């Protein structure tokens, strides 16, 4: 059984009378965990609650077994946090800011300076490290935030919308950096984003939130392994009897407009589909093999939450 990184035990957070997180229960143990959800789903609030910024109204959560109600200082000693919004210490060069943050995390001044240089080189700000952070572009500020989050060598890294406001090349670079950090050492990371591609490219587990509730939890690795390959067809013509005929052949079908998803049993071949289509006077204009993407999982979770 892998070590649990985060355990949510009926966690409820309220802002005044307004419930923001509603009785979250989950146990997350992946190396890279994605927090997905539409804006206002509670992703950032969950990270803030785990950092002790918002006290739980009910329930609790544990980070590496440390309770957020009682052991928040220990938790903060283990984590690094890259906030979502623009934040920096004014009037300081990046190297001084990152060094200050390392010292506040408990590193001795000499170690802090050495690691600040390393962290800034690591994120690609080596040449600009003596410039004041307020003179940085948005992309550079994001990288400086990442540098201060990793400078003290945390065991768990919270990344809140790390690709916010980045252009496509900068976004790719940021995601590559996150993957590099994930693959070096035994660091775990929690990536919060509303961008499915970001989570899909970096994470093994995903927790989908909506309206302060968990609407889906999925282990992407297992999902990818278990996910059956299916055919996606675009069909024209016919009177619906084609779908019935395909189902009678033993296929699992799902029709959405003109798109038909079909899982073929091993005994059948694609030519059988074409034969039935010809018999029913149905045109198959497109046929491709597919697997469920994170987008499919996400949309399904959203639909299920609305239906439920």
Interaction site with another protein (CB under 8 A): 15-18, 48, 51, 53-54, 73-74, 76-77, 79-81, 83, 85-92, 96, 100-101, 103-108, 111, 113-115, 117-118, 121-122, 126, 134, 148, 150, 152-153, 155, 180-181, 184-187
Say how far apart CA 25 and CA 61 lie, in whole Å. Answer: 9
Residue 98 Cβ vs another protein, minimum distance, rounded to whole Å: 10
Cα–Cα distances in angstroms (integers) from residue 25 to residues 31, 60, 79, 176, 207, in the given order: 19, 9, 21, 31, 11
> Which CB sits closer to another protein, 125 or 277?
125
Smallest gap, in angstroms, from Cβ of residue 158 to another protein? 8
Of 76 and 300, the one with the shorter C-beta distance to another protein is 76
Give the nearer residue to another protein in terms of CB position, either 153 or 250: 153
Sequential DSSP letters for 225-281: HHPPPEEEEEEESS-SHHHHHHHHTT-EEEEETTEEEEE--TT--HHHHHHHHHHTT
Least CB distance to another protein at residue 80 (A): 8
User: 109 in helix, strand or coil?
Assistant: helix
Q: How far apart are CA 34 and CA 165, in angstroms?
A: 19
Least distance (Å) between residue 143 CB and another protein: 13
Nearer to another protein, 62 or 182 (CB): 182
Instruction: Show the CA angle centred on residue 134, arms to residues 129 and 136, nearest 5°.
Output: 55
- Structure-token pair, residue 135: 């003179």
State the nearest-atom distance from the C-beta of 193 to another protein, in Å: 18
Nearest Cα residue to 232 out of 282, 291, 279, 301:
291
Which lies closer to another protein via its Cβ, residue 6 or residue 233? 6
């Amino acid at each position: 059984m892998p070590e649990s990184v985060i355990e949510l035990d009926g966690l409820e957070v309220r802002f005044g009378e307004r419930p923001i997180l509603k009785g979250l229960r989950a146990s997350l143990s992946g190396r890279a965990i994605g927090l997905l959800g539409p804006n206002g789903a509670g992703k950032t609030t969950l990270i803030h609650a785990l950092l002790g910024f918002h006290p739980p109204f009910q329930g609790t959560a544990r980070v590496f077994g440390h309770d957020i109600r009682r052991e928040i200082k220990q938790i903060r000693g283990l984590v690094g946090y890259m906030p979502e919004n623009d934040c920096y210490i004014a009037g300081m060069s990046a190297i001084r800011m990152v060094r200050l943050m390392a010292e506040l995390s408990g590193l001795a001044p000499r170690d802090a300076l050495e690691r600040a240089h390393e962290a800034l080189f690591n994120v690609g700000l080596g040449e600009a490290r003596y410039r004041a952070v307020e003179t940085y572009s948005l992309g550079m500020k994001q990288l400086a935030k990442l540098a201060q989050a990793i400078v003290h060598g945390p065991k768990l890294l919270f990344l809140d919308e790390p690709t916010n406001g980045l252009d496509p090349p900068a976004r790719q670079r940021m995601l590559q950096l996150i993957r590099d950090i994930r693959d070096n050492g035994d660091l775990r990371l929690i990536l919060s984003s509303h961008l499915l591609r970001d989570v899909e490219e970096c994470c093994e587990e995903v927790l989908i939130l909506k309206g302060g509730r968990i609407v889906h939890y999925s282990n992407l690795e297992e999902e990818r392994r278990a996910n059956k390959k299916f055919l996606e067809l675009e069909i024209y013509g016919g009177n619906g009897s084609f779908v019935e005929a395909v189902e009678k052949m033993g296929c699992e079908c799902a029709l959405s407009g003109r798109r038909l998803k079909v899982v073929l049993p091993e005994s059948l071949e694609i030519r059988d589909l074409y034969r039935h289509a010809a018999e029913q006077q149905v045109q198959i204009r497109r046929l491709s093999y597919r697997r469920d993407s994170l987008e499919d999982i996400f949309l399904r979770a959203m639909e299920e939450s609305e239906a439920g």
